[in-house]
Amino acid sequence: MTPTTPLSPVIIALDFAVRAELDALVDQLDPSQCRLKVGKELFTLYGPEVVKSLQQRGFEIFLDLKFHDIPNTTAAAVAAAAELGVWMVNVHASGGAKMMSAAKSALLVYGKDAPLLIAVTVLTSMHSDDLAAIGVAGNAQSQVARLAALTADCGLDGVVCSAQETPILRAQSSDDFLLVTPGIRPAGSDLGDQQRVATPLEAMTMGSNYLVIGRPVTRSADPLAALKIINQSLGY
């Protein structure tokens, strides 16, 4: 099936271990309402088959495996994601310029069919204190800005960051540089392990292009209603 491109910027994070729970959620969703993210848990359990089955339902897929390895290995992994026909794939910007450039080069052969390639800057579960503990000087915002500039220099399509950094990244980046923001929490919802958060509307107003949202929808008593409320709050 040809994928449907939704107007909504919402990407639902499908962090599930039980296939029946995943299917029960996806059965309720329509590709016009959101894109879907397949991450480490789902992919490790069910592999490429789960990606293909979601694509067959018409969804565009963000394959979130956050590759971080030597350039040759990362480039081959990104090419494998392109073979799967995913819409978006990511690497860790802290893998460095050689790794990101190799990943970008590996996608050239796919032309307009290449997935969007983005790089994770500083995980939204981290604060400046966590960075200090791993030897990164400065606060989260300055580290995100540094890694986003490196990512743009390597020709990638954008970054994963928190919505809190989007104003500074919008100011330093070209208009078409994508800012993909997890750590989205509708007002009143549980933060869980997320530290640098924003509501869906705040994130879009501050300059996000795509919102990655997991538990506030997937663990809601009524996931479809939760998604509809979020989309409506954004005018979709």
Residues classed as catalytic: 66
Of 42-50, 51-59, 100-108, 206-214: span binding ligand OMP (CB under 6 A): 206-214
- Is the Cβ–Cβ distance between 153 and 184 less than 8 Å? no
User: What's the token pair of residue 3?
Assistant: 């994928």
Residue 148's CB is within 10 A of a number of other CB atoms, namely: 26
**How far lies 208's CA from each of 48, 82, 158, 192, 202, in Å?**
29, 24, 11, 21, 9
170 is in an annotated binding site: no
Please select the residue that binds ligand OMP; options are 35, 68, 92, 215, rule is CB under 6 A.
215
Q: Which of residues 45-104 bind ligand OMP (CB under 6 A)?
A: 64, 66, 90
Shortest distance (Å) from residue 161 CB to ligand OMP: 7
User: What's the token pair of residue 167?
Assistant: 């104003």
Q: Assess 186 for contact with ligand OMP (CB under 6 A).
A: no
* Rounded-to-integer distance, Cα 141 and Cα 165, Å: 6
Q: Assess 192 for contact with ligand OMP (CB under 6 A).
A: yes
Choose between 124 and 173: whose C-beta lies nearer to ligand OMP.
124
Q: Assess 182 for contact with ligand OMP (CB under 6 A).
A: yes
Q: Assess 202 for contact with ligand OMP (CB under 6 A).
A: no
143 is in an annotated binding site: no
**Binding characters for ligand OMP, 6-45, by CB under 6 A (x = yes):** -------x-x-----------------------x------
Binding residues for substrate are 15, 37, 64-73, 124, 185, 194, 214-215
Residues in contact with ligand OMP by CB under 6 A are: 13, 15, 39, 64, 66, 90, 120, 123-124, 160, 182-183, 192, 194, 212-216
